[in-house]
A = this chain, B = another copy of it.
Amino acid sequence: MDYPSKFIEEAVTQISKLPGIGKKTALRLALHIIKDKQENTFALTNAINTLCENIQFCKHCHNISDSEVCMICTSHKRDRSVLCVVEDTQDVMAIENTSQFNGLYHVLGGVISPMNGIGPADLKIDSLVNRLNHGQSEIKEIILAISPTMEGDTTAFYINKRIKDIPMKVSVIARGIPVGGDLEYADEITLGRSITGRTLFN
């Protein structure tokens, strides 16, 4: 496509490199930026630059953070005996939103996926093992809250194997019928798991 301006062309090229944004959406955004007030655009680009320059990763849980140690790891209100292992930051935010978990987190930064060239060494698994092995560790239980996909299950098995010699309770989040979901439309594996993993009524 021919653009009427090289500035538009460069902006569209850069914006369309973002995930899930194609050339058409990028053009729509670029034309919005032209119409918008300059101060709004500078607020946007400043926020992105500031994010990119100042963001840190917590040295304990590897979640994104404004400081060397994140707010959850420094909080005195959190239960330090339970550790929830998740794939990425979005999962931490999703679990925090449920208000059902008050322990600490460990962010792996992905799952083992040989197809995409991601092995155990690319994830924060060694760091997790060190954290559990650490002499003063108060952790008594770890919860593997990893998506029940093939890659996620592989990762969970691998972590379980790596930590099997450390005396500790290891649990996984329940698989079953989503609340509000219809039994009829559930797939066989999920329905089977919901029966084998049944809990007592009350």
Q: How large is the interface on A (under 10, 10 to 19, 20 to 34, 35 or more residues)?
A: 35 or more
State which of A25-33, A124-132, A154-162, A181-189 sits at the interface with chain B: A25-33
Q: Assess the B33–A51 pair: CB atoms within 8 A.
A: yes
A32 to chain B, nearest CB (A): 5
**Chain B contacts for A52, CB-based, 8 A:** 33-34, 38, 41-42
Q: Assess the A20–B28 pair: CB atoms within 8 A.
A: yes
- Whether A64 touches B8, Cβ cut-off 8 Å, given contacts A27-B90, A33-B51, is yes
When each residue 65-79 of chain A gets 1 if its CB lies under 8 Å from chain B and 0 otherwise, what string results?
A: 110001110000000
A21 to chain B, nearest CB (A): 8
Instruction: Tell me, in angstroms, the Cα distance from A18 to B77 when the chains sit together.
Output: 37
Nearest neighbor of A38 in chain B, beta-carbon distance: B52
**Chain B contacts for A20, CB-based, 8 A:** 25, 28
A2 at the interface (CB under 8 A from B): yes
Beyond A4-B71, A4-B72, list 9 extra A-B contacts (CB 8 Å): A7-B66, A8-B51, A10-B51, A14-B43, A15-B44, A15-B48, A20-B28, A31-B90, A34-B55
Interface CB pairs A-B, < 8 A, 8: A4-B65, A5-B65, A10-B50, A11-B47, A11-B48, A14-B47, A31-B89, A33-B48
